[in-house]
Amino acid sequence: MNSAVDVLGTSRKTISTVMNYTDTFVNCPKLGVKCRFIEPNLPMKNGSPYTSPYMLPDLQGVDYTLLPLKRIYAFTESFELHSDYADSTQAANLCGFGDNYYRVSRYINKRFIACTVGGIGMKLLFAQNPLSKGGRKPVMCLDTSDLNNTPVRYKSVAECAKAIGSTDTSGLIKNYIRPSIPFKGKYLISYTVS
């Protein structure tokens, strides 16, 4: 591994991350080529070695749909309520991250993160009702199976999600609204102009 790092000009972390992913190639600056890394004694892997923290599955232990809307809740590792916050900016400020709100927002419902609250180090799970997301933009929803083809206007993605039976507003936005793909094969949702 050390020899590969020296010869190729890439890091150990990069090599170990992409090892045995069949379709992942890494730029190796000292050679001026892209390389794939294979360890013959290990199984081959498909997909991407890189995972977005936003795409992690929700952590089990909390029923997020029962949380009141419009707030972020912090749970201890034993899933006891520790505190609640108006938003991820306030949570970041009070939990030792300063104004780096994304240190909280990227892991909401996803994992415990190490923080410092009142000078005490601890791990907290920041949680939010999924319907709290997407609450600011109005949308139009067209039921393509409806012969009348009358779109329905909603004040927010969250309100629309509730009406069509979805509890994952961020997934609705990413997987259906942005690419203009009908949800459940029939609900075509788009943002409206105010």
Residue 191: which of 144, 141, 143, 146 has the closest Cα?
A: 141
pLDDT, one tens digit for every residue, the chain (194 residues): 888 888 889 898 889 889 999 888 988 899 899 999 999 998 999 887 876 666 677 889 999 888 988 899 999 999 999 999 999 999 999 999 998 888 898 899 989 999 999 999 999 999 998 777 655 678 899 998 888 778 898 888 888 888 898 878 878 888 898 888 999 999 999 888 65
Residue 103, H or E segment: helix 102-105
Element (H, E) at 133: none
Among candidate residues 108, 88, 111, the one with its CA nearest the CA of residue 168:
108
Q: How many CB atoms lie within 10 A of CB 160?
A: 24
pTM value is: 0.53
What Rg value do the Cα atoms of the chain yield, rounded? 22
